[in-house]
Amino acid sequence: MAVKKIAGKDVQVNDEGFMTNPAEWTKEIAVELAKEEGIAELTPAHWAVIDFCRKTAEGNGKAPTLRTITTGANVSTKDLFALFPKGPAKKVAKISGLGKPEGCV
């Protein structure tokens, strides 16, 4: 495991840049991770998805899949791709400080 400084805080990340300890996550870290993923600003719609993903992971310890996000966060697949382009489940998991979702390559 590597350590990366994000938003002034040292956090543990794996070789793909996913945080390995969700407890180290903060909203400031999310903003910086979003910028790294090409998302300049996190809107209330982004935060609704991020909050849903974090709550889901608290319950089962895993980042939610695309289908779980669209169903549970009440957002269409099209809107999710607009919010988190090019691999939304993977991007939102990274920005949410969660591990890579199962089934993502």
3-state secondary structure string across 50-71: HHHHHHHHHHHCCCCCHHHHHH
Q: What is residue 103's predicted lDDT score, i.e. its pLDDT?
A: 64
The answer to whether residue 101 is domain-embedded is no
pLDDT in tens, 12-68: 999 999 999 999 999 999 999 999 999 999 999 999 999 999 999 998 889 999 999
Counted domains in the chain? 1
Which positions are catalytic? 104
- Give a yes or no: residue 90 inside a domain: yes
User: Which domain covers residue 88, as residue numbers?
Assistant: 2-95
Query: pLDDT tens for residues 66-84?
Result: 999 999 999 999 999 999 9
* Count of positions (residues) in the chain: 105
Look up the pTM and report it: 0.92
Beta partners for 2?
13
Which residue reads 């996190």 in tokens?
A: 42
User: pLDDT at residue 104 above 70?
Assistant: no
Residue 100 resides in a domain: no
Tell me whether residue 57 is in a domain. yes
